[in-house]
Chains A and B, each alone.
Chain A
Amino acid sequence: EDQVTQSPEALRLQEGESSSLNCSYTVSGLRGLFWYRQDPGKGPEFLFTLYSAGEEKEKERLKATLTKKESFLHITAPKPEDSATYLCAVGVIQGAQKLVFGQGTRLTINP
């Protein structure tokens, strides 16, 4: 069974305190690893897609990396506006490409 597990469930940091979020997965045939950001009461916002182990992508203070079993979302010197829930998903093929989502990490950055 395709499965995605994110840790920690919640993380509270001080402004400027760097950290990493983890996404581990088991999937029969990976068709991409996707990161989303979701603000309260809104739809998820696409951040990154990673396709193969060793790949990295960056956007402002965020950097996503991928290994064969997990992905990390590194947050460098975060600001309060980075507070959100970060969702990880793996792509699987079933007719169309579907996404299997993790439960998310709720990140809070205190000023």
Chain B
Amino acid sequence: DTGVSQDPRHKITKRGQNVTFRCDPISEHNRLYWYRQTLGQGPEFLTYFQNEAQLEKSRLLSDRFSAERPKGSFSTLEIQRTEQGDSAMYLCASSLAGGAQGTQYFGPGTRLTVL
């Protein structure tokens, strides 16, 4: 039984560079979520997919951020022209749609540091 996995676990980049993160959800889960967590805060919602459809995006998801889930399995989150304020832990979670089965399980996160 594999949980949610994320890659890479850590990324250090220079301001202005593009970065891409990958998330592999629990295999039978059809919903996939991205959250961002900064120091001393709880995770904040960015966007979520049901299968390959992106159903909701938060105001935190600026134009420099794009997320995809092309085949309804893994997802990627890309940040273009990174800024120092993008430094955070990026968390992915997955769930089954509906009721008690909608409980979200999180991956280990990708910690991004923008220099």
Q: Do A and B come from one complex?
A: no
Please list the residues of chain B having a beta carbon within 8 angstroms of any beta carbon in chain A.
none
Please list the residues of chain A having a beta carbon within 8 angstroms of any beta carbon in chain B.
none
